[in-house]
Amino acid sequence: MKVLLVATNRERSPYPVAPLGALCAAAAARAAGHEIDFLDLGMARSPLRALQSKLQAGSFQAVAFGIRNLDNCWAFMPRSYFQEVRSLAETVRHSFKGPLILGGSGFSVAPIGWMRRLEADCGVIGEGERAFPEVLTRLEAGRSLDGIDGVITAPRGDSAARVLPTRAVERLGDLPPPAHDLCRYAPYLRWGGFVGVQTKRGCPLGCVYCVYPRLEGRRYRLRPPDDVVREIETVAVGSRLRHFFFVDSVFNDPRAHALAVCAALERRKLPVRWNAFCNPLGFDAEVARAMAQAGCAGVEFGLDVATPRMLAALGKPFGQEEIRIALRAARDAGLPFAIYLLFGGPGETWADVRDTQAFLDECAPANAVFATFGIRIYEGTPMAGIAAREGTLSPGQDLFEPVYYLSPELADHTEEKLDRIARRRPEWSSPMDWRGPVARWGQKVTVLLNVRPQWKYMRGYGGYMRRRTV
């Protein structure tokens, strides 16, 4: 079947992100014998015109949208991407009579909401490699789409009951590598982006607000380390692409797998640098050293909170001692690191925020600390249950429109108060900084100078940036 696969994401903050998920879906569809024409709108000047001319030029039998983001998850500066995608869907509907298929993480966090609003023919929830080719094969043969797991077919998304849960691909090693050849990476890297690579899928760790286990499954499925390295090598050799990002939910867990990937990378001695999301679970001196030796350029620690009470309230799988060990290990291995904090969880108080700062002072100096607040509530997470019990959500509320959880004590003058605390440390930034022009201008300069990670020198210029923002 001849398919136009459109990567719809055009967000540029914190930098443009290449459409890895859509490239995975494309690779699987190609391997099943379908013909894929890939249209990446990420860097397109005029997305609607680009889509129109593709539709006019090709004789497609189906159009598929890769929807990476639904909204930006920021309570303090909310942005929805729905209207952008809706305009694209209207353009398709205007000149194309065949089926419209939706997929991607932004779709999968609220699939019924998307189906209702776009009146798409079908949607693939979660992992796309198995379901997408099957949908195309059946459409080509004129067969019904009923009964494919993870595929929503209800005409207007009226019935959730017709969706069978997505069955995870057991052996990731059996999947074709993402179709990196279809992506023009150069502009992404020029604007501070990376080539994304996965070393595994899934997260069994169960933080109360997190939707990742629903997207990727609750069990780790590991890729053979040599496959990971081969994928990087294939992209890097013969190109000038040198910056990679391990897009795993948590790169360093399971620890043995992270060490095996690092060892495989070190053995191959590729001229590449990479970044990764980590958490303190099992992140010790050995892991930090192995990452540094394997070319890691920066670690992003998603701590979210750091007081014992809040670590328990959010169901974080680590405690203060692990945080201390992890941050010191990163420092000792010479790994630049940033910390991401998300305040406002159940029962959180301003004392917790101040204690978090004092505790982090004791650990090891971060290059940057990004403090935000307000937790995006996702369907089917324990957080949705907590919010419903407390009356923040009404029964069956549609979470396509984001709702944010914020503890009562933090609800008053949150931005100003958080900013006052953030200003006490040069490496901390708060939403107020990101509203102002100085931080955004600083970000542009770091991109132009190709500083990687972008936050590497934040501790150095943060104090100055803040004085300018007042």
Find the length of the chain.
Answer: 470
Query: Is 135 or 203 the residue whose CB approaches ligand SF4 more closely?
Result: 203
70 binds, among ligand B12, ligand SF4, none (CB under 5 to 8 A by kind): ligand B12
Closer residue to ligand SF4 (CB): 279 or 469? 279
Q: Does 295 bind ligand SF4 (CB under 6 A)?
A: no
From the CA atom positions of the chain, what is the Rg in Å?
A: 22
Q: Which of 198, 199, 252, 443 touches ligand B12 (CB under 6 A)?
A: 198
Give least dist CB 178 to ligand B12, A: 7
> Which x/- pattern, by CB under 6 A, does the window 228-267 give for ligand SF4?
---------------------xx-----------------
DSSP 424: T
Whole-angstrom Cα distance, residue 470 to residue 468? 6
User: Nearest-CA neighbor of 277 among 326, 228, 227?
Assistant: 326
**Closest among 420, 409, 398, 431 to 79, alpha carbons compared:** 431
Under the binding rule (CB under 6 A), the answer on residue 122 touching ligand B12 is no
Give the one residue of 85, 112, 189, 205 binding ligand SF4; rule: CB under 6 A.
205
Among 101, 222, 258, 323, binds ligand B12 (CB under 6 A): 101
| C-beta separation of 76 from 431 below 8 A | yes
Confirm or reject binding of residue 278 to ligand SF4 (CB under 6 A). no
The single residue among 183, 210, 297, 313 that binds ligand SF4, judged by CB under 6 A, is: 210
Of 39, 55, 73, 305, the one binding ligand B12 by CB under 6 A: 73
* 313 binds ligand SF4 per the rule CB under 6 A: no
Helices (H) and strands (E) in the chain, counts: 19, 17
In the complex, minimum distance from the CB of residue 281 to ligand SF4, in angstroms, rounded to a whole number: 8
Give me the least distance between CB of 318 and ligand SF4, in Å please: 9
Token pair, residue 183, equals: 């992506």
Under the binding rule (CB under 6 A), the answer on residue 105 touching ligand SF4 is no
Instruction: Output DSSP code: residue 408.
Output: G
List % helix, strand, coil for the chain (3-state, nearest 5): 40, 15, 45
For residue 271 the two structure tokens come to 């001229």
User: What DSSP state is assigned to residue 71?
Assistant: B
In the complex, the smallest distance separating the C-beta of residue 407 from ligand SF4, rounded to whole angstroms, is 18
Query: How many CB atoms neighbour CB 234 within 10 A?
Result: 13
When binding is defined by CB under 6 A, the residue of 40, 134, 216, 352 that contacts ligand B12 is 216
Indicate which of ligand SF4, ligand B12, none lies near residue 377 (CB less than 5 to 8 Å, by partner kind): none
Q: Give the max Cα distance, the chain.
A: 64
- Site membership for ligand B12, residue 215 (CB under 6 A): yes
Residue span 12-31 as binding mask against ligand B12, x where in contact by CB under 6 A, dash where not: xxx-xx--xxx-xx------
Q: Is the Cβ–Cβ distance between 143 and 170 less than 8 Å?
A: no
Work out what residue 72 binds among ligand SF4, ligand B12, none; the CB cut-off runs from 5 to 8 Å by kind. ligand B12
List the single partner that 207 binds among ligand SF4, ligand B12, none, CB under 5 to 8 Å by kind: ligand SF4
Q: What is the DSSP string of 245-272?
A: EE--SSTT-SHHHHHHHHHHHHHHT-S-
Q: Does 104 help bind ligand B12 (rule: CB under 6 A)?
A: yes
One residue of 110, 179, 207, 229 binding ligand SF4 per CB under 6 A: 207
Among 165, 173, 206, 460, binds ligand SF4 (CB under 6 A): 206
Closest CA to 303 of 370, 383, 365: 370
Q: Which does 295 bind (CB under 5 to 8 A by kind): ligand B12, ligand SF4, none?
A: none
- Of 94-102, 183-191, 205-213, 234-242, the window that binds ligand SF4 (rule: CB under 6 A) is 205-213
Smaller CB separation from ligand B12, 325 or 336: 336
What stretch of H or E contains 105? helix 105-108
Do the Cβ atoms of 416 and 408 come closer than 8 Å? no
Reading the block at residue 305, the tokens are 């909170």
- Phi then psi for residue 216, to 5 deg, are -115, -5
Residue 392: Cβ within 10 Å count: 16
Question: Interface with ligand SF4 by CB under 6 A: which residues?
Answer: 203, 205-207, 210, 212-213, 249-250, 279, 302, 317
